[in-house]
Amino acid sequence: MTGRSVFWISGWTIPAHTLAGMATKAMPGWRHDAVDAGPDAAARAIASPADFLGGFSFGAHLLLGIDDPRPRILLAPFVDLKSEAGLGGAVATVQIRQQLRQLRRDPASAVADFRRRIGAAPPAAEDGPFDVERLAWGLERMLENSGAPAPLPEGSIAVAGNADPLLDAAKLAGILTSLRIVDAGHQPEPLLAATAALLQDVG
């Protein structure tokens, strides 16, 4: 399957240009546009003319809440990240609150610590300074309660890793019934590779 297009919403601390580059490498025949996860990201996805709407982690979470008939490509999605919610998230509320306090106090350290936790590379020089207010908005959004999402549109693909430190993939699969569990953690690259293989199977 080639010649299709995806509009991506990136994850928390993973810049949009980084995710777009990874997606282009995994699916080189597709057009990939991306935006950072922020208050206007979902609206920008809806306004996009892309064939698919894609999201990684927090970006995937934002796409679960929109009303749009186009199929989704969701990498490491979560319904509610808080473990106490029982919806497949594996992060305690107190940890998210601590991350928010650290972000306000020392943004560079907060970003580096989180990326280390998920096995991602440290921020590159070209990433520039992170938008602290946008990142804080993301954490505050993660602290909100979320209910079970509506079924995904036909043709959607959702993948999560069996070794993801932020998610209980098995529990999440009971909520997102189209979820595929793959041999991965919370890094975009192996999830994109798995997605590309799935798209070839259905294409």
Residue 123 has pLDDT above 90, yes or no: no
Separation of alpha carbons 142 and 147, rounded Å: 12
Tens-digit pLDDT profile for residues 126-138: 676 789 999 999 9
The arithmetic mean of pLDDT across residues 102-124, rounded, is: 90
Tell me the percentage of the chain whose pLDDT exceeds 90.
Answer: 84
Exposure of 146 in the CB half-sphere (CA atoms within 13 A)? 25
In the prediction, which pLDDT does 17 show? 94
Exposure of 61 in the CB half-sphere (CA atoms within 13 A)? 26
In the prediction, which pLDDT does 147 show? 82
The arithmetic mean of pLDDT across residues 171-182, rounded, is: 94
**Domain range annotation of the chain:** 5-202
What mean pLDDT, rounded, does the chain reach? 93
In the prediction, which pLDDT does 64 show? 95
Residue 2 has pLDDT above 70, yes or no: no
In the prediction, which pLDDT does 49 show? 98
In the prediction, which pLDDT does 148 show? 80
Tens-digit pLDDT profile for residues 43-69: 999 999 999 999 999 999 999 989 999
Check if CATH label 3.40.50.1820 holds for domain 5-202: yes
Pairing state between β 179-182 and 157-161: parallel
> What CA–CA distances, in Å, run from 140 to 90, 133, 195?
17, 10, 29
Q: Listing from the earlier edge strand, what are the strands of the sheet with 52-56?
A: 31-35, 5-9, 52-56, 72-75, 157-161, 179-182
Separation of alpha carbons 202 and 109, rounded Å: 42
Q: Which residues contact 77 (CB under 8 A, 6 or more apart)?
A: 55, 57, 60, 61, 63, 64, 158, 160, 172, 176, 179
The whole-model pTM stands at: 0.95
Residue 203 has pLDDT above 70, yes or no: no
- Residue 33: pLDDT band (50, 70, 90) is very high
